[in-house]
Every structure is written in C-alpha cells, then in structure tokens.
Structure 1
Amino acid sequence: MNSLRRMLLAASAALVMLTTSAVAADANVAGEWDLTVETQAGTGNPHFSLKQDGNKITGTYKGMLGESPVTGTVKGNEIAINFQVNAQGTDLAVSYTGTVDGATMKGTVKLGDLGEGTFSGKKAGG
C-alpha cells in the first residue's frame, strides 16, 4: 500500500511539473510591437499594442489599414493575431501567424482575399 501511495504521489508531482512547464513556455508578447510588412502591393509599418492573459491576446492594430481591435493566441512561441478592417469600403479579415523569439517576431500575414505577405518586427524597447 505504501509503494502504491508513493507511485501516485510521484505521478501527481510529475503532472504538476509538466503543467507548470507548459504554462511557463508561452512567450510573453504583452507590450508595444513595431512590425514591417512586405507584400506585392508594397511595404507597411504597423504598430500593435498587445495585452496577454495566459495564452489569449487582445489589443490594438494601427497602420496603413487604419485602427482596429485585435484578438489572438500565443502557444509556446507560436503567435496568431486576427482583426477586421474596412479598406476602401471592403471588409477585410487580416491574420498574422508566426513565431516569437524573445523581443522579436516574424511570420506571414494574410490580407483577406487581397493576398499574403511576410512580417517581422520587434518589441518597442526590446
């Protein structure tokens, strides 16, 4: 009975350690971000102000497409940010997906049906 109790205690401790490690592994993306976006239509320099609650992201986009609230997720070092804008009378769903490495991030951006591009940037002050 003692050995069963020890095994259960060891398994519980291992589960707690794994859960803590998984939570701690999410990148910290809260803050101000300055990005450079490259598309066939040209280059832009959007600014994101992001807040993070666990793996959920909220915030604001400001750039060539105007200003919009954003939502997204961060899982480990993978980030996804989404928002909607009205560009010249057309509703446009914009999505950024990529990776975070400390105070930098990079990846791809999809501009609804208008096309795709790449982005890279860094956390302001980072």
Structure 2
Amino acid sequence: MPFVRTAFVVAALTTSALASATVLVAQHRATDLTGNWTFAVVTENGTGTPAVVMKQQGDSLSGTYESSRMGALAFKGSVKDKAFTFVVNTSGGTALTFRGTIVDDDHVKGDVDFAGQGGATFTGERRR
C-alpha cells in the first residue's frame, strides 16, 4: 500500500504542477498586444478613433498610430504584466504618452498625457 499511496501523491503533485504551468502560459499569452487595434480617444473636444498597430516582443512594444488629423506616426513603448506605455511624437514635436491597462485579450483602456498640456482617456479594441 505505501507504493500506491506514494504513486498517488506523485501523480497529484504532477497534475498540480502542470495545471499551474498551463495557467502561467495562458496569462503570458493574454498580455500579447501584437495586432491591429481601433482606439477611441476621448478629449474635451470630442472623440477620435485612430487605428493602432502594435507589435510586442517580450516587454518591448512598437507600432504605428494613425489618425485622420495626424497621419501615421511610429511609436515605441513597453509592457509589464497588464500595464503598457507608449509615446507618439507628433510632427509638431508634442509627445503623446499613452499609459494603459490590458483588460482582456481584445480590450485595453487608459489615459493619454498631451505633454503636460492636458489629457484624455482611451479605450481600445483589437480588430479581428
């Protein structure tokens, strides 16, 4: 009987370890922002809907932010756990700093700082 009990304990521990590893892998995948997004940037002057293309490699983030008002602008940023930041530099020299939270695989939200000259909120949805 001691062998059966030991085998049962080993099997239970192995199953628990595999389940934990699966959860960690799933959590890691949930933070991948790579893809095409539609943002809604809400300011006191109205709402803009830029197209955002993000590419995540590890904790590095890069991509393009394209709006009818500013055209297509490249950006760089970073991701840590469920938080991300990126900076869009406009042709006029203003830095728009986006600080967001990953809500789920297809939704983000956060705030935008217009180089200390005001701000906005944003939401984003991944385009499929």
Amino acid at match of 1:71: K
Equivalent residue, structure 1, for 2:36: 32
Q: Does 1:44 align with 2:48?
A: yes
Q: Does 1:83 align with 2:88?
A: yes
Where do 4+ consecutive residues of structure 1 move more than 4 Å? none
- CA separation of 1:98/1:80 partners in 2, compared to 1, >3 Å: closer, same or farther? same
In structure 2, distance between residues paired with 1:42 and 1:91? 22
Paired residue secondary structure (1:67): strand
Contact 1:26–1:74 (8 Å) recurs in 2: no
Contact 1:84–1:93 (8 Å) recurs in 2: yes
User: Which structure has more strand as a fraction of its residues?
Assistant: 1
TM-score computed with the length of structure 1 as normaliser:
0.74
Pairwise CA distance, 1:25: 6.9
Deviations 1:38-62 (A, max 9, x none): 0112210011111111010111110
User: Which structure has more helix as a fraction of its residues?
Assistant: 2
Amino acid at match of 1:66: G
Equivalent residue, structure 1, for 2:74: 69
Supply the RMSD in Å over aligned alpha carbons: 2.2
Pairwise CA distance, 1:65: 2.2
Equivalent residue, structure 2, for 1:97: 99
Equivalent residue, structure 2, for 1:11: none
Paired residue secondary structure (1:114): coil
In structure 2, distance between residues paired with 1:115 and 1:66? 21
Give the gaps of 5 or more residues in structure 1: 1-16
In structure 1, distance between residues paired with 2:112 and 2:59? 20
Number of residue pairs matched? Answer: 105
Contact 2:30–2:105 (8 Å) recurs in 1: no
Q: 1:115 aligns with which of 93, 115, 118?
A: 118
Pairwise CA distance, 1:83: 1.6
In structure 2, distance between residues paired with 1:107 and 1:67? 21
Give the gaps of 5 or more residues in structure 2: 1-19
